[in-house]
Chains A and B, each alone.
Chain A
Amino acid sequence: MIYLYGDSFVENEPAENLGQRDHKRWYDYMSERMNEENENYGKCGEGPSTSLSKFHQHYEEGHFKSDKITHRFVFFLSSPYRIPWKWLEPQEDPKYSPEGFKSDRRDGIGISSAYQDWDVEYEKINHPHPREEPLNTEYYYTPEEYFTQTSVYEALQDELDHINLKNIAYLHTLSKLNNWPMMVFRVYGMNPNPFRKKYDESLFRFERLNDETFHFYPGPMHDQSSKEWVDEWIAESGTMNHFTHRNHIILSNIITNFFLQTAGTDSFLTEQWHEHFIRSVVNPEHRRDHDPDTFVDFIYE
């Protein structure tokens, strides 16, 4: 069994949600090549704190106990600034949904939306652009909620910036202690953080942990996703798991090459990403029109 944890790079999201023609995903290819099922716990927008909490719950409940099967793991560690605030849950009280905001809070707020909104507000206050009209947040936040986000991000800035390195080391240890083959990706690099601080990432070459049972893939997935575009700028993020079909195959190859230990054998499949091939997007509005017969289209080079 292959267990998958992470954010939108992992979730088996229905193609209709993205206005896309469906295609086989990287986890389908992976399971097919491995001849092994997967359990996909990915959820769009979640951060590593939530991914690890899910994993801990499964671990501590004995979900990976059976010694009759091999337990394999794939983790995608997303932005640690995505914090699962308790107050993101649905709020019926109209005071949480005043006029003038794009969305109301009766259905709750997604973890990544809360972080994006905080970033918009923080930039507006601290780094206002002299000419451009400032962006607006999608949701309304009470002063206490905005204060909480800023306080936690400021107080734990160093911790949040290093937490995925800790997660990698921690997962490496659990992989070794339990003999679990494991592959860990990260969605973003450390630089720059939301306070514009920069780090020397070369001090942490955690790929030196890699061996036959553990593999950390150092290239951030978001960067790889943006490299699908000619100008490396994602004009429309509606591809499934942030990759077009051809790179789903590459991602599956990277994972299965590791699990099957095909390096240096005839069974090794290419790990060369397809890059700079999307020129523009047509009909991006179909992403959210809920019509299953209309699609977002990408124009390829």
Chain B
Amino acid sequence: MIYYYGDSYVENTKVDDLDMIDHERYYDMVSKNMNEGFNNFGKAGEGPWTTLTKFHDHLYSDRFNSNSKFVFVLSNPYRIPWTFLESKGISATTTYADWIAKQDGRDHLIEGDYTSEEFYAIDSMYRSLQEEINHQNFKNITYLHTISKANNWPMIVFRVFGISPDPFGKEYDEDKIIKPFTDLNDDSFKFYTSPLELQSSKEWKRNPEQPREGIPDQSTINHFTHRNHIILSNIITNHFKKTDLTEVWHERFIRDFEKIERNNKQLVDYIYN
């Protein structure tokens, strides 16, 4: 059984939620390649703290066995699962975005409704644990590596974002910090260094007026078009099955998107080069 944990790069989202034409997802493809079932515990918007808590719950409840395999996609550690927001239905992603908006003086962009105590707690936590949060995913990678080795569980770990700059503008030498962690990679454990969000944005043709690549519309399924679901499935399959499928991402091929009507529904479609 292959277990998936992570955020929107993992969740088996209903296509209706994205107004997209459905297609086979990378986890379906991996299971087909491996002839093995999967359990997908991904949830859009969740951070690595929640991802690891789910994994711990499953670990303590003895869910796994010697044939278990794991795919982790570690998202933004600034996504905190505040219990005081559960009843308000405000997600960890929204809270983080709202906090950023507040820092930037763009209060009109704040979506959530927070008490002053709640906002104080959010701000206080980010400021007090900045270093801890910034290094969180490195700790997660090494921790998962240790768990993988201790249990002989094949595992592949992706990250969604890089660490630099952090929300306070602190810059890290990303290459220097990340590079050594690839030394952990072997037959059973793999840390895929390139952040998936960066890879998603590279699906789009670069706009010369935009200094950085951005994603004009995020409604692709798991943030990738079909052709890159195949690549992602290849990367995972290659690691688990020792195959040699291409791992070259398709890049800069979406020029624009449009709304199309199909079966009386408005759907998003992309215009390719």
Contact = CB atoms under 8 A, between A and B. Distances in A.
Does A associate with B in a complex?
A: yes
B146 A172 contact: yes
Interface string B139-179: 11011011000100000000000000000000011000000
Nearest to B60: A200
Given A53-B131, A83-B129, A143-B117, A199 B60 contact: yes
Contact of B121 (A56, A144, A158, A178): A144
B82 interface: yes
Contact of A151 (B83, B138, B143): B83
B66 interface: no
B183 A177 contact: yes
Contacts of B180: 173-174, 177-178
A196 interface: no
Contact of A166 (B117, B118, B128, B142): B142
A296 interface: no
Nearest to A173: B142
Interface centre among A148, A151, A177 (most CB of B within 10 A): A151
A113 interface: no
Nearest to B176: A60
A159 B52 contact: yes
A68 interface: no
Interface centre among A60, A143, A162, A209 (most CB of B within 10 A): A162
A287 B215 CA distance: 63
A162 B82 CA distance: 18
A177 B49 CA distance: 25
Interface stretch (A31-39, A84-92, A270-278): A84-92
Interface string B16-58: 0000000000000000000000000000000001001100100
Contacts of B195: none
Contacts of A144: 116-117, 120-121, 124
A174 B181 CA distance: 9
Contacts of A60: 172-173
A158 B52 CA distance: 8
A167 interface: yes
B143 to A, nearest CB: 4
Q: Which range contains the number of B residues in contact with the other chain?
A: 35 or more
Nearest to B135: A56
B227 interface: no
Contacts of B112: none
A155 B117 contact: no
A120 interface: no
Nearest to A149: B121
A52 B121 contact: no
Interface string B101-144: 00000000000000011101100110111011001001110110
Q: Which range contains the number of A residues in contact with the other chain?
A: 35 or more
A56 B131 CA distance: 9
Contacts of A177: 180-181, 183
Contacts of B184: 173
Nearest to A143: B117
A49 B132 contact: yes
B71 interface: no
A107 to B, nearest CB: 19
Contacts of A168: 146
B81 interface: yes
B196 interface: no
A205 B81 contact: no
Contacts of A84: 128-129
Contacts of A173: 142, 145, 180-181, 184
A230 interface: no
A118 B145 CA distance: 34
A203 B121 contact: no
B59 interface: yes
Contacts of A199: 60
A162 B52 contact: yes
A170 B124 CA distance: 26
A156 B121 CA distance: 13
Nearest to A161: B56
A169 interface: yes
Interface in B175-203: 180-181, 183-184
B43 to A, nearest CB: 15
Contacts of A200: 60
Interface of A: 49, 52-53, 56, 60, 83-87, 143-145, 147-148, 151-152, 154-156, 158-159, 162-163, 165-170, 172-174, 176-178, 199-200, 203, 205-206, 208-209
User: What 7 A-B pairs are tightest by C-beta distance, nearest first?
Assistant: A166-B139, A169-B146, A148-B121, A158-B53, A144-B120, A166-B143, A173-B142
7 contacts: A52-B131, A52-B135, A83-B129, A144-B120, A158-B56, A166-B142, A170-B135
Interface of B: 49, 52-53, 56, 59-60, 80-84, 116-118, 120-121, 124-125, 127-129, 131-132, 135, 138-140, 142-143, 145-146, 150, 172-173, 180-181, 183-184
